[in-house]
Structures are given as C-alpha cells and as structure tokens.
C-alpha cells in the first residue's frame, strides 16, 4: 500500500516561514521573562472568605446585657438576609461579636452591604447611649487585610516623642503605591482631661451640664453666610475651636451677678493622653508598632523591598540615631524562600527531564523537546498576567506538576520527525511536515484527555475552590501552550537544526569552546545586570552541554546500544507471558485492588485539609481573671 503524505497545515506554514517563527519565539521569550518579573509574587493566593463580622463595644455591660440589648437585636435583622449559611454570636463583658457566614459563591461585597443595611435597621432598637464609634462595626474578611510586616519604633524617649517619629514613618509608607494602609499600635492618643472638683462646682451652684454646654457651645465652627466681594461671593466662617489648653482654662462657665466663673476655678484642665488600651513591646522595651497592609494584587516582595529601602533612607535623614526602627514579621522572607526553592526545583526538574530524554532520543532531539518546557511556561506567564493571577505556591506547584507532561507532545512530534528523516534519506522539511501531520490527531486526543480531569476543578466551590483554582488554570494553560509549541515551534527547530549524524564523526571542540564561552559570558552579564534567574539558567545550559560532551555521551551510547535493547527484549518476554496467561494477570489486578481497599479500611489513615508543619514563631496567650486591667496584663 502506497504511503499517503499527511501534513498539518499550520505546521507546514510554520516550517515554510521559519524566520517569522523564530522572531515570535524570541518575542515570547522576552515577554515571558519580563511578565514573570512583573507578576505579583505571594505565598498563597489572595482570596476572600464569605464571612462578615459585626463587632460592638458597650462599656459597663455584663455578658447577659450584651446578649439581650445588642446581640439579639442585631441577629433579628441579620437573620432575615438571604444566602446565609450560619450565624455564630458571642457575647462577653462589654463586647458583642457576630460572625455571619454566607454560602459558597456569594459576592462578598454585596453580602457585606446587606449586613450593613441590616445593622442600620437594628440601630433604633439598640441602647440610645451606645457610642457610634464603638459600633456596631461591620467588616468583611480578606487575606489581603493581614499585615505583611511590622515596623517597630523604639528608643530612650517618652511615647509621645516616639509617636511623632512613628507617625512620620506611617505617612511615608502609606504613600507607597503597593501599600493600602498602615495601622499604628501602642501609640498614646492625645486627650484633654477636665477633672472637675465637685465641691467647688457645687459651691458655684453649677452642674455638669453647665460645664458641658459651655464647652460645646464655644468649641465649634459657625457659618457666617456669604459676602459679595467685587464680582465674587465669598463664604464666611467663624472658627471658635480651641487651639490650646489655656483657652479652655479661661472659658467662662457662668457669669451670674457680673462675676465670671472660669473653668479653671472649678476644674483642673490637663493636656494628657488617653488611658492606653493597646500595648506593644520589643525585647522588653516600650515600642510603637506599625502594621503595614498591602493592596490586594500588589507584589508582596516588591512592597517589602520598597518599605525597607524607605526605612533606610528615613533613618539616614529624618530619624535620630538613638531611635531604633526594626522590621519584624516580614512575610516576604518566607515567600522569597518558598518561591525560590520551588523555582529551583522546577529548573532542576527541567534539567533532569532533558538528561533523561538524552538517553532515549540523543542530545539534539532532547534539546528540541526540552525547549517546549520554557516556551510553554513563558506563554503561561503571559496568559496568567492577563487573567490577573499572582505567582504563588499553588501556581508554581502546578508548573512543577506539569513539568513532565508538557514534553509529551514534543516527544511524539520530534521522534516521528527523526524516524521519517531516516538520517538524511528524506528531506528534513518533508519529514517535519509529514511527521506533524501523521501524529496530530493522536497527540491532540492525548492532550485533551490529560486536560479533561482538570476542567471540573475550575468549578470547585467554596473557599478551598477559590484557594486552589490556580492549579487547574495553570495546568490547562501550560498544557495547551505545549500543544502549540509542539506543532508550531518544534517542527521549525527540527527542520532547521536536525542534521544527519555519522557514527565516528568527531565534534569540533574549538567551535564548541568558543560558543560556550560566548554564551557563558552573556549569562554572566545577565546575572550581574539584575536577572539572576535567566542568567543562571543560561549558565546551567552550558554546564549541562559540557556534562553531556565529556561524561554522558559514552553512557548514553552504551545505553542505546545495550541497555535499551535489553529492556525492550525483557518487556517483550513479559508481554508474551501475559498474553499466554490472561486469567492470572486479571486475577492479580483484581486481587491487588481488593487488598488495597482492605488495607485502607484497616489502617484508616487520617484526613486533614493541609499538612501540618513546625512553625518558626510562637504565639503566647495569657488569660487573666475577668476585669483585670490591661496595664497589669
């Protein structure tokens, strides 16, 4: 039967227009590397929990009063909201907390607004003397709301002076584009204290309300209307706000019988600080802590680098040398380590995959196949950036998981090209076109069956689904990209660089040394230029080449001539035996399955959501008797 020449039109077009394909390959490489550097890097995906918290502070109330006066009234209105999974409330001394958990897939912003509306409806039924600043406060939970690091400001100064420097640092950090906000902890809040002498007030025949009315009537801004100035109308404002403590002291409380009574006559007025409710210490010293919270989707590592650079600049110019500024709890440190370790694992895995391919396909074909790994990843980086997905452990783990799969398509195409090429008996362009056309449908079917199990994971519900969605998305994109690389780029490289080889042909060592030196210098320059990842990959390629040329080539030839034929013969004998004894084979398979099920029932392995590991920090919680002052805590 006459062989029919098959071809895949896109592959044939790529082979006929190889210059265009090479330019596209270079563009994909440059864009992929730049996109990777620009991708936000985080330890875990930034997800939003479908949970809203309602917190209320009502000083002086027992847990029973908090339950009856606050919690139940709020629960009545919140419970009428649709889409709620469960409501958990907790009432303790002076504090009420309500956790509203919505069903999976709920829009958290819409849910948060519904809870706010329900709280507003409940406010008329709450105690009239409830301070609005104490709640009820409604807040949704987002992972991006957790601090990425703490900046601790301490020194041999009083807290008021330290606060001044801390607020300066706070203002500077909040101006960074990656930072959402900076919360200050342990800083004293200014308070004007008016300590009234009850006996003097009674002797002057005054009441507390008289003092309150005098202060509130004076400390205000009053609109004076407008006045015409030429062709413009200007608004007039009369400012009566206090500027200093002396104005408060000299405030007239009563002017009965033409004898003014000043506030200083019946009270002590002090410019002081509120009683501290939050405390922070570092190495046993009083410290003011700044919790830095980054914006959602911003690069964690870049944010940390910019903050540390800013602190160094402030310490040189505006912060005294005896004020210590220390960074603690920097989550970017763990992120850098974990991401770098996983990237190194991917690179090492890629090198091992290439070396394994060398044993079965030879060095040239293995390099053609190995190119599909970085090119597929570069395409995936670009698509992930367009989808707004950050570079985190889940995404990197997906790359690692697909490392050995992305070469499957390229192996089939290159190996078929090598077979048809027959060491130069068929023109290489014809061989490449025919090879791609022959295996297109089988390879496409194989790729689709590999992708099929990951498509349902795109619709994984709940918080875990949101957390893990980067895994199927990355694998689907990467494997689809490997299919495109296998049929549009790999045939071009094969048609350009695949040459007939001769058994006793000696390599041109001089040319190899010159090209290796040039490539190594380029890699070194790239590393010194600020891109160590790409530079190290180039240097590693040079090292792998010489490892192959000097050491592996003999082992590979020996394996291909003796080792691999022996394995094939052994496999053939096992296959012949199984074909003669099918009952024994199927019985063994069924028996193994039953044995595995029985052992699973006997051992009953534990199930956990995530594996546990040893932390590198310790939280210590000290529970004091109810009513203990925080100063003693």
Tell me what pLDDT residue 1 has: 42
**Which residue has 């994909």 as its token pair?**
28
- Is the Cβ–Cβ distance between 45 and 390 less than 8 Å? yes
User: Which strands form 179-185's sheet, in the order they lie side by side?
Assistant: 179-185, 288-294, 149-155, 323-328
pLDDT tens profile 60-94:
778 888 888 888 888 888 888 888 888 888 888 88
Of 105, 109, 178, nearest to 469 by C-alpha is 105
Q: What angle do CA 518, 521, 523 make, to 5 degrees?
A: 110
Buried b (16+ CB within 10 A) or exposed e, 433-442: bbbbbbbbee
Task: Return the CATH number at 239.
Answer: 3.30.2090.10
At residue 47, φ and ψ (nearest 5 deg) are -120, 160
Tell me what pLDDT residue 12 has: 86
**Low-confidence residues of the chain: pLDDT under 70:** 1-5, 143-144, 224, 240, 255-258, 276-285, 423-424, 501-505, 533, 608-617, 619, 621, 626-633
3-state DSSP assignment of residue 129: coil
CA distances to 111, 127, 138, 626 from 70, rounded to whole Å, are 21, 8, 14, 20
Of 409, 400, 425, nearest to 490 by C-alpha is 409
Tell me what pLDDT residue 169 has: 86
Tell me what pLDDT residue 81 has: 84
pLDDT tens profile 535-564:
777 787 788 888 888 888 888 888 888 888
Query: Does residue 523 lie in a domain region?
Result: yes
Tell me what pLDDT residue 632 has: 63
Query: Does residue 579 lie in a domain region?
Result: yes
Of the residues 273, 290, 312, the one at which a domain ends: 273
> Which two three-digit tokens encode residue 451?
């992708």
Q: How far apart (Å, rounded) are the C-alpha atoms in residues 360 and 575?
A: 21
Query: Does residue 389 lie in a domain region?
Result: no
Query: Does residue 28 lie in a domain region?
Result: no
The residues near 529 (Cβ < 8 Å, ≥ 6 apart) are 535
CA distances to 376, 446, 451 from 354, rounded to whole Å, are 15, 21, 23
> What is the residue range of 231's domain?
190-273
Alpha-helix residue ranges (DSSP H) falling in 39-95: 63-65, 72-78
Q: How far apart (Å, rounded) are the C-alpha atoms in residues 385 and 375?
A: 16
The residues near 153 (Cβ < 8 Å, ≥ 6 apart) are 162, 165, 166, 169, 287, 288, 289, 290, 323, 324, 325
Tell me what pLDDT residue 90 has: 86
Find the distance separating the first CA and the last CA of the chain, reported in whole Å. 92
Instruction: Count up the domains in the chain and report the number.
Output: 2
Query: Does residue 263 lie in a domain region?
Result: yes
Tell me what pLDDT residue 281 has: 67
Of the residues 273, 303, 328, the one at which a domain ends: 273
Of the residues 215, 247, 273, the one at which a domain ends: 273
Query: Does residue 60 lie in a domain region?
Result: no
User: In sequence order, what are the beta bridge partners of 604?
Assistant: none
The residues near 162 (Cβ < 8 Å, ≥ 6 apart) are 153, 154, 155, 187, 286, 287, 288, 323
Tell me what pLDDT residue 497 has: 78
Query: Does residue 511 lie in a domain region?
Result: yes
Buried b (16+ CB within 10 A) or exposed e, 251-279: bebbeeeeeebebebbbebeeebeeeeee
Query: Does residue 537 lie in a domain region?
Result: yes
């Amino acid at each position: 039967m006459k062989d029919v020449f098959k071809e895949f039109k896109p592959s044939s077009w790529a082979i006929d227009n190889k210059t265009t394909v090479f330019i596209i390959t270079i563009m994909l490489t440059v864009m992929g590397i730049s996109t990777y550097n620009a991708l936000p890097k985080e330890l875990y995906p930034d997800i939003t929990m479908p949970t809203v918290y309602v917190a209320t502070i009502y000083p002086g109330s027992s847990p029973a009063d908090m339950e009856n006066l606050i919690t139940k009234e709020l629960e009545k209105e919140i419970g009428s909201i649709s889409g709620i999974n469960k409501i958990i409330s907790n009432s303790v001394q002076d504090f009420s907390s309500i956790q509203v958990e919505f069903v999976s897939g709920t829009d958290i912003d819409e849910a948060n607004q519904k809870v706010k509306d329900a709280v507003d409806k409940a406010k008329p039924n709450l105690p009239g003397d409830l301070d609005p600043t104490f709640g009820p406060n409604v807040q949704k939970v987002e992972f991006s709301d957790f601090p990425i690091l703490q900046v601790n400001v301490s020194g041999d100064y009083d807290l008021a002076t330290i606060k001044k420097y801390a607020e300066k640092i706070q203002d500077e950090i909040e101006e960074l584009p990656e930072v959402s906000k900076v919360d200050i902890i342990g800083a004293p809040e200014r308070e004007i204290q008016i300590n009234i002498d009850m006996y003097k007030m009674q002797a002057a025949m005054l009441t507390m309300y008289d003092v309150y009315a005098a202060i509130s009537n004076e400390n205000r801004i009053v609109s004076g209307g407008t006045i015409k100035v030429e062709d413009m109308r200007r608004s007039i404002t009369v400012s009566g706000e206090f500027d200093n403590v002396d104005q408060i002291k000299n405030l007239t409380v009563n002017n009965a019988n033409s004898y003014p009574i000043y506030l200083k006559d019946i009270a002590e007025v002090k410019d002081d600080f509120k009683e501290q409710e939050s405390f922070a210490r570092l190495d046993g010293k009083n410290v003011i802590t700044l919790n830095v919270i980054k914006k959602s989707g911003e690069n964690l590592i870049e944010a940390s680098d910019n903050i540390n650079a800013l602190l160094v600049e402030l310490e040189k110019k505006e912060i005294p040398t005896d004020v210590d500024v220390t960074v603690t709890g920097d989550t970017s440190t763990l992120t850098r380590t974990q991401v770098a370790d996983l990237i190194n694992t991917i690179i090492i895995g890629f090198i091992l995959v290439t070396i394994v391919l060398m044993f079965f396909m030879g060095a040239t074909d293995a390099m053609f196949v190995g190119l599909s790994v970085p090119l597929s990843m570069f395409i995936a980086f670009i698509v992930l950036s367009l989808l707004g997905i950050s570079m985190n452990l889940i995404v990197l783990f997906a790359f690692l998981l697909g490392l050995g799969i992305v070469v499957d398509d390229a192996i089939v195409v290159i190996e078929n090209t090598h077979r048809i090429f027959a060491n130069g008996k068929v023109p290489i362009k014809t061989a490449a076109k025919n090879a791609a056309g022959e295996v297109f449908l089988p390879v496409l079917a194989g790729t689709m069956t590999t992708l099929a199990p990951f498509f349902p994971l795109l619709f994984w519900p709940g918080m875990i689904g949101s957390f893990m969605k980067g895994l199927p998305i990355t694998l689907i994109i990467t494997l689809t990209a490997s299919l495109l690389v296998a049929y549009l780029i790999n045939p071009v490289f094969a048609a350009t660089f695949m040459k007939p080889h001769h058994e006793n042909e000696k390599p041109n060592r001089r040319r190899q040394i010159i090209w290796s030196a040039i490539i190594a210098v380029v890699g070194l320059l790239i590393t010194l230029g600020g891109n160590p990842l790409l530079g190290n990959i180039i240097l590693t390629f040079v090292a792998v080449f010489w490892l192959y040329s000097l050491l592996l080539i003999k082992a590979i030839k020996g394996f291909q001539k003796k080792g691999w034929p022996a394995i094939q013969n052994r496999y053939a004998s096992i296959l012949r035996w199984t074909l003669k004894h099918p009952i024994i084979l199927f019985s063994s398979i069924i028996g193994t399955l039953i044995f595995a099920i029985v052992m699973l029932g006997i051992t009953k392995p534990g199930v956990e959501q995530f594996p546990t590991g040893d932390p590198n920090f310790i939280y210590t919680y000290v529970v004091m008797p109810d009513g203990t002052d925080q100063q003693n805590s």
